[in-house]
């Protein structure tokens, strides 16, 4: 009992501002150029790297941020910033600061694991820890799809979960949003196509927001959720 | 390797199992019709004295598609046999419970995906029976839970047969996240499939990848550079640390003990950030590769790791004291979810779940890999087998792991070799690899074909043998204690579902 009280008294507030910058080794956006781009395309395990030999483009929905292309080609490097979905890149973290004015309402989120490796799920769990404290933004996780404005789907949709995902979506009230969270849910290329996999989330239910990353860092998820709150407000009009 | 005919499988396996003292580590099928013309079943048994594995292989002639089930003599084989029946259609005769395991009711009967005659991306629809096991009787009722849960957890369907508040029986329907990873890896080189191996499971990423690398390296017959072994061992211990600390912060969530949850989660976050500092990924991904590690540590990084360790250790001791002082918490965890020694042994359970019931097994001591032989750490066991015992095992193991990480950093500092990686020639062969993940031993079996591509891989994560034990540990407890019992085992779904 005394330890509990002491801990509450001593530790005070540990909640931090959201930062989309990672450690010096963090693998974010791929930058630079190289003369062996073809090799990168071959080595990419998720078919995210596309090139015509001179220029390249990366499909960050699919990218696993494994770093193999950067290892294979001199000249390429990773930035240490989260890759954010394109349409929110401009607003970025500023959103977090003025969120209270923007929101005007709360966002209720339901998690659906459609076949993930549990990394995305653990990161989603981390959003509730005292450091990220998602509640401060008015975003909370709810226990039923009937209470949810948004479902956050992780994992490439498996055959064994296809029905569960559809039913969860159908149980939601309108207006409803779907977020495909992480490379498996957004791109669906992590394990290729097999007898047990249906594919990316968009093949089963309509997706509104894609969050890149394998897994996305909690900061990316929060920026995505805040963008979702904006999107929801628009839909309510 | 001992080779027998299919009808001698049960007898030979029974001898090799030595009354359960040589635990069944894994059992799986393989389609070798292209080379030997036969289907086969492999059994791996631990051999503690030799610190090795006994491999038993039973071959099936063309007209044979069944064998005498091992479950009556080795209860641990029950799930493996169900999986082999699903995947290869080899039927265990007299199996007590031959319901489908991996393939749910949306797959048709007679579809066996791991046969080489089935293409990897076959899209087949159909239906089959899948009945949950329930108890029937006057006044009994069922409580269905899942697969989509109320919190942020992985998917599984639980069916409780209730007599009032007491759980009479629990049947768990798992394998919802079955992605067909084993089949997806076939036909790829071990390097091409590496990204998938890292993504079998998030929380056991290093354990899975290292087991995988070990098997590939054994086939190639190469010795990994010393420095790479030190770094791998360090990463595995860092994985154990964030898992154990995270679990200790998560178990109180089973009873709503908020200050402990909050502190535990904060500590876990510090460790996840530390993971990113070391490998560039919060789940330690992107560093291991067959042959060694992709990049080195730096003095700056290890200093940062040591500083994080200081903070975490302090907070961790606070967390332990918090739990220690809270009598209400003690009331809930004592005598809850008891798993007997004999159950753990019969089911060949592993890791924290087994050690809390008195099983003296830890693959860091039982097998030879990494640099564990040069390190000083204790094997932790408890006798009682309840939630409290599992918490205590985790607490003491965390203390050992904190010690280990410091020893490993010292080793890294004093080892002056610079080589981090060696050439791994790909050739035909078969081998196993084992690591001790935070949940217990993690076994991989790999067969490479003549072109050095994966012909068969079997992934047996630590959660696989432990899941059946959870269902038994809950018997007789009240249903509000289920989350607590479940969290005290803290098993992965993704690892077993694959």
- Report the residue of chain A nearest B105, measured CA to CA: A160
Element (H, E) at B244: helix B226-250
CB contact (8 A) between residue A214 and residue B177: no
Selected for mutation to probe chain B from A194, A199, A203, A217 (highest B CB count within 10 Å) is A194
Task: pLDDT band for A152, please (50, 70, 90 cuts).
Answer: very high
pLDDT digits (tens, 9 = 90+) for A4-23: 788 778 777 888 888 888 88
Pairing of strands B24-32, B38-47: antiparallel
Nearest to A149 by CA among A229, A234, A85, A237: A229
Nearest to B470 by CA among B61, B170, B180: B170
- Report the residue of chain B nearest A188, measured CA to CA: B179
Q: In A102-140, which positions are buried (b, 16+ CB within 10 angstroms) versus exposed (e)?
A: bbeeebbbbbbbbbbbbbbbbbbbbbbbbbbbbeebbbe
Q: Which CATH code is given to the segment(s) B186-466?
A: 1.10.645.10
Tell whether the model's pLDDT for residue A90 goes beyond 90.
no
Tell whether the model's pLDDT for residue A97 goes beyond 60.
no
Q: How far apart are CA B405 and CA B410, in angstroms?
A: 9
Element (H, E) at A153: strand A150-154
Q: How far apart are CA A75 and CA A62, in angstroms?
A: 22
CB of B266 within 8 Å of a chain A CB? The answer is: yes
CB contact (8 A) between residue A195 and residue B118: yes
Sequence-distant contacts of A199-202: CB under 8 A, at least 24 apart: A199/A156, A199/A157, A200/A61, A200/A156, A200/A157, A201/A114, A201/A153, A201/A157, A201/A165
Six-digit token string for B323: 């739990």
CB contact (8 A) between residue A128 and residue B265: yes
Q: Which residues contact A20 (CB under 8 A, 6 or more apart)?
A: A81, A82, A84, A92, A93, A217, A219, A220, A223
Q: Which residues contact B378 (CB under 8 A, 6 or more apart)?
A: B396, B400
Q: In B32-59, which positions are buried (b, 16+ CB within 10 angstroms) versus exposed (e)?
A: beeeeebbbbbbbbbbeeeeebbbbbbb
- Report the residue of chain B nearest A114, measured CA to CA: B177
Q: Which residues contact A28 (CB under 8 A, 6 or more apart)?
A: A22, A65, A78, A79, A80, A81, A82, A83
* B200: nearest CB among A14, A117, A125: A117
Q: How far apart are CA B464 and CA B388, in angstroms?
A: 22
Show me where the domains of chain B are located: 2-131, 186-466
CB of A4 within 8 Å of a chain B CB? The answer is: yes
CB of A21 within 8 Å of a chain B CB? The answer is: no
Place of tokens 């479950």: B71
Taking contacts as CB-CB distances below 8 angstroms, the residues of chain B near A140 are: none
Question: Residue B105: its pLDDT value, please?
Answer: 87
CB of B322 within 8 Å of a chain A CB? The answer is: yes
Selected for mutation to probe chain B from A16, A48, A118 (highest B CB count within 10 Å) is A118
Tell whether the model's pLDDT for residue A92 goes beyond 50.
no
Q: Which CATH architecture has domain B2-131?
A: 2-Layer Sandwich (3.30)
Instruction: Please compute the mean of the pLDDT values over residues A161-188 and round it to a whole number.
Output: 90
Question: Residue B131: its pLDDT value, please?
Answer: 87
End-to-end Cα, chain B, rounded Å: 27
Per residue of chain B (498 residues), what is the pLDDT tens digit?
A: 989 998 899 999 999 998 888 999 999 999 999 888 899 999 999 998 899 999 999 999 888 899 999 999 999 999 999 999 999 999 999 999 999 999 988 888 889 999 999 888 888 888 888 888 898 889 999 999 878 887 788 888 999 999 989 999 999 899 999 999 999 999 999 999 999 999 999 999 999 999 999 999 999 999 999 999 999 999 999 999 999 999 999 899 888 888 899 899 999 999 999 999 999 999 999 999 999 999 899 999 999 999 999 999 999 999 999 898 888 889 999 999 999 999 999 999 999 999 999 999 999 999 999 899 999 999 999 999 999 999 999 999 999 999 999 999 999 999 888 888 999 999 999 999 999 999 999 999 999 999 999 999 999 999 999 999 999 999 889 999 998 999 999 888 998 988
Tell whether the model's pLDDT for residue A95 goes beyond 60.
no
DSSP state of A209: E
For residues A142 and A128, the answer to whether their CB atoms sit within 8 Å is no
Tell whether the model's pLDDT for residue A94 goes beyond 70.
no
Pairing of strands B91-93, B66-68: parallel
Q: How far is A97 from chain B (nearest CA, A)?
A: 22
- Report the residue of chain B nearest A68, measured CA to CA: B286
Taking contacts as CB-CB distances below 8 angstroms, the residues of chain B near A78 are: 280
Taking contacts as CB-CB distances below 8 angstroms, the residues of chain B near A64 are: 195, 199
Residue A184 CA neighbour count, 13 Å, CB half: 30
pLDDT digits (tens, 9 = 90+) for A48-72: 888 887 888 888 888 999 888 888 8
Taking contacts as CB-CB distances below 8 angstroms, the residues of chain B near A4 are: 259-260, 322, 325-326
Q: How far apart are CA B291 and CA B288, in angstroms?
A: 9
Taking contacts as CB-CB distances below 8 angstroms, the residues of chain B near A129 are: 262, 265-266, 268-269
Nearest to A152 by CA among A160, A161, A142: A142
* A118: nearest CB among B122, B147, B494: B494
Sequence-distant contacts of B44-47: CB under 8 A, at least 24 apart: B44/B432, B44/B443, B44/B445, B45/B13, B45/B16, B45/B17, B46/B22, B46/B361, B46/B366, B47/B22
DSSP state of A93: T
CB contact (8 A) between residue B196 and residue A45: yes
Question: Residue A232: its pLDDT value, please?
Answer: 75
CB of A1 within 8 Å of a chain B CB? The answer is: yes
Q: Which residues contact A170 (CB under 8 A, 6 or more apart)?
A: none
Q: Which residues contact B132 (CB under 8 A, 6 or more apart)?
A: B157, B159, B171, B173
Pairing of strands A76-78, A30-32: antiparallel
Q: How far apart are CA B160 and CA B149, in angstroms?
A: 15
CB of B496 within 8 Å of a chain A CB? The answer is: no
CB of B137 within 8 Å of a chain A CB? The answer is: no
Element (H, E) at B458: strand B454-460
Alpha helices in B33-133 (DSSP H): 78-88
Selected for mutation to probe chain B from A160, A182, A212 (highest B CB count within 10 Å) is A160
Six-digit token string for A124: 């989603």
CB contact (8 A) between residue A64 and residue B113: no
Question: Residue B398: its pLDDT value, please?
Answer: 95
- Report the residue of chain A nearest B243, measured CA to CA: A122
- Give the domains, in start order, of chain A with CATH numbers: 30-78 (3.30.70.20), 86-236 (3.40.50.12280)
Nearest to B272 by CA among B262, B259, B285: B285
Tell me, rounded to whole angstroms, the distance of Cα B406 from its chain centroid: 26
CB contact (8 A) between residue A158 and residue B279: no
Nearest to B26 by CA among B456, B335, B461: B461
Q: How far apart are CA B237 and CA B127, in angstroms?
A: 44
A-B interface: how many C-beta pairs under 8 angstroms?
198
Question: Residue A82: its pLDDT value, please?
Answer: 84
Would you call B256 helix, strand, or coil by DSSP?
coil
pTM: 0.92
Taking contacts as CB-CB distances below 8 angstroms, the residues of chain A near B260 are: 4
CB of A90 within 8 Å of a chain B CB? The answer is: no
CB contact (8 A) between residue A24 and residue B326: no
Taking contacts as CB-CB distances below 8 angstroms, the residues of chain B near A46 are: 195
Strands of B182-338 (E only): list them: 288-289, 292-293
CB of B124 within 8 Å of a chain A CB? The answer is: yes
Task: pLDDT band for A224, please (50, 70, 90 cuts).
Answer: confident
Q: Does a cis peptide bond (omega within 30 degrees of 0) precede residue B147?
A: yes
CB of B314 within 8 Å of a chain A CB? The answer is: no
CB atoms within 10 A of CB B68: 18
CB contact (8 A) between residue A23 and residue B273: yes
CB contact (8 A) between residue B180 and residue A195: yes
* B199: nearest CB among A27, A117, A141: A117
Tell me, rounded to whole angstroms, the distance of Cα B420 from its chain centroid: 27
Contact residues, B window 277-296, toward A, CB-based 8 Å cutoff: 277-283, 285-286, 294
């Amino acid at each position: 009992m005394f330890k509990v009280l002491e801990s509450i008294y001593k530790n005070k507030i540990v909640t931090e501002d959201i930062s989309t910058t990672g450690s010096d080794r963090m693998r974010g956006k791929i930058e630079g150029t190289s003369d062996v781009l073809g090799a990168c395309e071959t080595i990419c395990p998720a078919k995210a790297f596309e090139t015509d030999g001179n220029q390249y483009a990366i499909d960050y929905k699919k990218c696993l941020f494994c770093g193999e292309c950067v290892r294979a080609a001199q000249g390429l490097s990773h930035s240490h910033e989260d890759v954010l979905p394109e349409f929110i890149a401009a607003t970025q973290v500023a959103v977090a600061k003025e969120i209270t004015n923007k929101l005007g309402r709360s966002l209720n989120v339901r998690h659906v694991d459609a076949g993930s490796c549990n990394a995305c799920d653990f990161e989603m769990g981390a959003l509730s820890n005292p450091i990220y404290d998602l509640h401060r933004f008015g975003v909370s996780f709810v226990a039923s799809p009937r209470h949810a404005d948004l479902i956050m789907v992780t994992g490439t949709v498996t055959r064994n979960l296809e029905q569960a995902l559809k039913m969860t979506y159908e149980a939601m009230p309108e207006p409803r949003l779907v977020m495909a969270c992480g490379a498996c849910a957004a791109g669906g290329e992590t394990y290729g196509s097999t007898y047990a996999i249906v594919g990316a989330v968009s093949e089963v239910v309509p997706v509104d927001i894609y969050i890149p990353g394998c897994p996305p860092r909690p900061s990316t998820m929060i920026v995505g959720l805040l963008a979702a709150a904006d999107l929801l407000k628009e839909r309510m009009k | 390797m001992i080779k027998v005919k299919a009808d001698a499988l049960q007898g030979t396996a029974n001898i090799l199992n030595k009354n359960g003292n040589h635990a069944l580590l894994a059992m799986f099928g393989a389609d070798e019709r292209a080379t030997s013309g036969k289907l086969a079943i492999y059994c791996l048994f631990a051999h503690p004295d030799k610190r090795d594995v006994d491999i038993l292989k039973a071959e099936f002639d063309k007209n044979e598609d069944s064998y005498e089930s091992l479950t009556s003599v080795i209860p641990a084989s029950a799930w493996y046999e169900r999986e082999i029946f699903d995947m290869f259609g080899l039927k265990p005769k007299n199996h007590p419970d031959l319901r489908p395991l991996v393939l749910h009711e949306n797959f048709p009967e007679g579809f066996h995906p791991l046969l080489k005659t089935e293409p990897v991306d076959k899209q087949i629809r159909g239906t089959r029976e899948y009945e949950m096991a329930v108890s029937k009787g006057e006044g009994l009722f069922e409580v269905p839970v899942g697969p989509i849960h109320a919190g942020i957890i992985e998917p599984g369907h639980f069916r409780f047969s209730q007599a009032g508040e007491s759980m009479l029986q629990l049947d768990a329907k798992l394998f919802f996240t079955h992605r067909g990873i084993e089949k997806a890896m076939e036909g790829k080189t071990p390097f091409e499939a590496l990204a998938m191996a890292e993504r079998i499971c998030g929380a056991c990423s290093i354990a899975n990848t290292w087991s995988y690398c070990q098997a590939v390296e054994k086939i190639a017959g190469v010795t990994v550079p010393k420095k790479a072994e030190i770094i791998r061992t360090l990463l595995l211990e860092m994985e154990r640390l964030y898992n154990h600390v995270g679990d200790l912060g998560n178990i109180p969530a089973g009873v709503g003990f908020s200050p402990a949850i909050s502190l535990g989660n904060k500590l876990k976050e510090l460790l996840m950030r530390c993971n990113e500092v070391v490998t560039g990924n919060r789940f330690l991904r992107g560093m291991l590769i067959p042959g060694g590690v992709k990049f080195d540590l730096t003095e700056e990084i290890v200093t940062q790791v040591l500083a994080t360790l200081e903070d975490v250790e302090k907070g961790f001791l606070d967390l332990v004291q918090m739990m220690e002082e809270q009598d209400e918490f003690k009331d809930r965890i004592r005598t809850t979810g008891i798993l007997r020694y004999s159950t753990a042994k019969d089911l060949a359970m592993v890791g924290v779940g087994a050690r809390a019931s008195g099983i003296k097994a830890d693959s860091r001591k039982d097998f030879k890999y990494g640099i564990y032989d040069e390190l000083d750490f204790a094997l932790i066991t408890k006798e009682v087998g309840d939630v409290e015992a599992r918490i205590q095992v985790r607490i003491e193991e965390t203390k050992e792991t904190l010690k280990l990480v410091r020893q490993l950093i010292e080793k890294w500092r004093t080892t002056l070799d610079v080589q981090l990686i060696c050439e791994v020639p790909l050739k035909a062969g078969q081998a196993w690899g084992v690591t001790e993940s935070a949940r217990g031993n993690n076994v991989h079996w790999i067969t490479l074909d003549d072109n050095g591509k994966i012909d068969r891989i079997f992934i047996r994560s630590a959660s696989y043998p432990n899941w059946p034990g959870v269902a038994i540990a809950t018997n007789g407890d009240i249903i509000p204690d289920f989350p607590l019992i479940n969290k005290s085992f803290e098993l992965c779904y993704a690892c077993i579902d694959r």
